[in-house]
Amino acid sequence: MSLSEQTIIETVEVSEKGTVFVQKTTQILKDGAVFATTNNRTGFPPGHNVTQEDAKVQDICGVVWTPEVVNAYRASLPS
């Protein structure tokens, strides 16, 4: 019996204000067949450090998070 794990990015969504939401599914495989799954949804606000995320997520953030979007987000935060 061999166990392995794989994580799949199911969806990436962008909110109107630029927050990037990532839905991931982690699958536990037993002898190559899916044995169990877990889902995780995470949101990243504009300008957040995403260097530890998947390259796809980094690429999307790089396109969406223009200086204008990041500055507008930061300006909306309470002082």
Instruction: List, as one string, the DSSP characters of the chain.
Output: --EEEEEEEEEEEE-TT--EEEEEEEEEEETTEEEEEEEEEEEE-TT---TTS-HHHHHHHHHH--HHHHHHHHHHS--
Q: Is the pLDDT of residue 1 over 90?
A: no
In this predicted structure, what is the pLDDT of residue 19?
98
**Long-range contact pairs involving 31-34 (C-beta distance under 8 Å, separation at least 24):** 31/1, 31/2, 32/2
Alpha-carbon span 33 to 20, nearest angstrom? 31
- pLDDT more than 90, % of the chain: 96
Give the pLDDT of residue 41.
Answer: 98
Single pTM value for the model: 0.86
Q: Write the pLDDT tens digit of every residue in 10-45.
A: 999 999 999 999 999 999 999 989 999 999 999 999
